[in-house]
Structure 1
């Protein structure tokens, strides 16, 4: 199937992680040129090498999303090497697991700047070009916690939900210009983040990690964690020409985990 993104420029935030790297590779396989961004440049090295070996035109950027001053220089570097961004994948890391109550203002502020404000500012930087060209895709990855809040992820539940309201509002503003904006909710996808959360819960409750993982997968109708590739397939579709009439949506990739409609 032709996704219609050959030659498009895709910026993938958090590309060094499990979800981001899978998304970058999937878009690259469809012919997109890829800008890889991550706080950890070493995490990008094997991904960039793999893409380069496959003949993909790409650029790697060390990018601290909490640093607003870095946005202009990083986008300018992408534009200079690849061209203007057509596809923006807003994929950010998560805050530490905490209750909602009793967290410091500094932690809330830091998390807001890296998880929410950065996404809005980067989108605002590339959006005018998308609207002028009459084509653009903005896909923002959040969490199943925005539908069914997850225990001990108070900061994540609150801040990621704000991105849902932002994306829905934005989608209506830019739809007539050929730009779509959608939210994708990962359920429990087998990444380092999920492994970390399972380990943290096991330590908190003084239980074996295997027991926590088995309990977790037992609540999923498919009885397993999803794979990064399964998640990336959905994101890549929303970033494609094929999804031109899908905007303002919230798509779950959760194996049926969220019980509500």
Structure 2
């Protein structure tokens, strides 16, 4: 979903999504699949850096901010690198050869719509 403070990024991501959908339908005949993984909140250095910045400006502890943000996700937690890697490995495997041109949400249910 577009994020209001990321205007240029929103446009680029929308363009990439359209590109992936179009080109994937041309390459699948040659057993080349192209899909997009769309991650939500994952436990990364960037996320932890954001917690530190919010902590500094709000006076709340990093752990308090972390718990609040995790609780705001329907899964009640952040994704892990292992989960992202497993999804990527599956899509790159021969078991996913009939999946192409898709945007796969990995967000713990954060996106409020259906795709």
| TM-score, normalised via structure 1 length | 0.40
* Structure-2 separation of matches of 1:152 and 1:158: 12
* Structure-1 separation of matches of 2:106 and 2:28: 24
Q: Which residue does the alignment assign to 1:156?
A: 9
Within the candidate set 63, 77, 94, 1:224 is matched to 77
Map 1:48-67 → 2, pairs under 5 A: none
The structure with more strand, counted as a fraction of residues: 1
* Structure-2 separation of matches of 1:251 and 1:215: 26
Compared CA separation, residues 207 and 169, structure 1 to 2 (3 A): farther
Provide the secondary structure at the position in 2 that maps to 1:233. Answer: helix
Per-residue CA shift, 1:154-173, capped at 9, x if unaligned? 34333222211111111112
| TM-score, normalised via structure 2 length | 0.85
Provide the secondary structure at the position in 1 that maps to 2:109. Answer: coil
Per-residue CA shift, 1:54-113, capped at 9, x if unaligned? xxxxxxxxxxxxxxxxxxxxxxxxxxxxxxxxxxxxxxxxxxxxxxxxxxxxxxxxxxxx
**Equivalenced residues, count:** 113
Q: Does 1:206 align with 2:58?
A: yes
Larger relative contact order (Cα-Cα within 8 Å, sequence gap ≥ 6):
2
Which residues of structure 1 form unaligned runs of 5+? 1-147
* Structure-1 separation of matches of 2:52 and 2:4: 15
* Structure-1 separation of matches of 2:99 and 2:27: 13
Q: Which residue does the alignment assign to 2:102?
A: 249
Provide the secondary structure at the position in 1 that maps to 2:27. Answer: helix
Map 1:11-90 → 2, pairs under 5 A: none
Calculate the aligned-residue CA RMSD, in Å. Answer: 1.8
* Alpha-carbon offset, residue 151 of structure 1: 4.8
Answer with 1 or 2: which has the greater Rg. Answer: 1
Provide the secondary structure at the position in 2 that maps to 1:221. Answer: coil
Which residues of structure 2 form unaligned runs of 5+? none
Map 1:96-107 → 2, pairs under 5 A: none
